[in-house]
Chain A
């Protein structure tokens, strides 16, 4: 149980395009999901917390107009990187708070490369 999927697993795009990443909780409902960014050999950096049906809460320094987060259902949250640039290239990982509201379950991550 508590499986989280992400799609796509990797994406290459041209500078200036927008990229959407989906995060799904497959076998449980998630009222809260988290989006992280991770650089090579570094720890997780929380970007935002999203709650189903309400606006996401962004961490300090994260541009909400750049990283659009939508959590429209109890099993799906999306992260859209708008007008992507090479510096947005990174490993993006989502997680979902379990139904016990106690632990996070992570997706497999999405590797984004912006050329």
Chain B
């Protein structure tokens, strides 16, 4: 079983839709949770970072962590064509070891 599972998609939605991206994990030692956005041929860009269960909001983006279920989500409201990218979830344990999901490819259709 992989440490982090992420549906690769691809996911295609119309402009303005709410997007839900998810990851599950198996290691309860993970304490820090991140979402990165990667445009084609570019390095990943940190979008959201959280270390506690619950929701964290930043503009159109909401990160949700449920440690009891070992499940994290990223919601994008009012999706825009510029949101079209690959979204990577990432997790870190207290020993500075990072684990990345395989990424979900998102296309927002105008």
Stretch at the interface among A13-21, A71-79, A81-89, A106-114: A106-114
CB-based contact B41/A91 at 8 Å: yes
Interface residues on A, range: 20 to 34
Other-chain contact of B43, A2, A42, A102, A107 (Cβ < 8 Å): A107
Secondary structure call for the B interface? strand
CB-based contact B88/A105 at 8 Å: no
- A79: min CB distance to chain B, Å: 14
Secondary structure call for the A interface? strand
Other-chain contact of B103, A43, A93, A102 (Cβ < 8 Å): A43
Q: Does A44 contact B (CB under 8 A)?
A: yes
Closest to B103 in A: A43
CB-based contact A43/B46 at 8 Å: no
Q: Does B45 contact A (CB under 8 A)?
A: yes
Q: Does B42 contact A (CB under 8 A)?
A: yes
CB-based contact A103/B103 at 8 Å: no
With contacts A32-B96, A102-B32, A103-B34 taken as known, whether A109 is within 8 angstroms of B101 at the C-beta atoms is: no
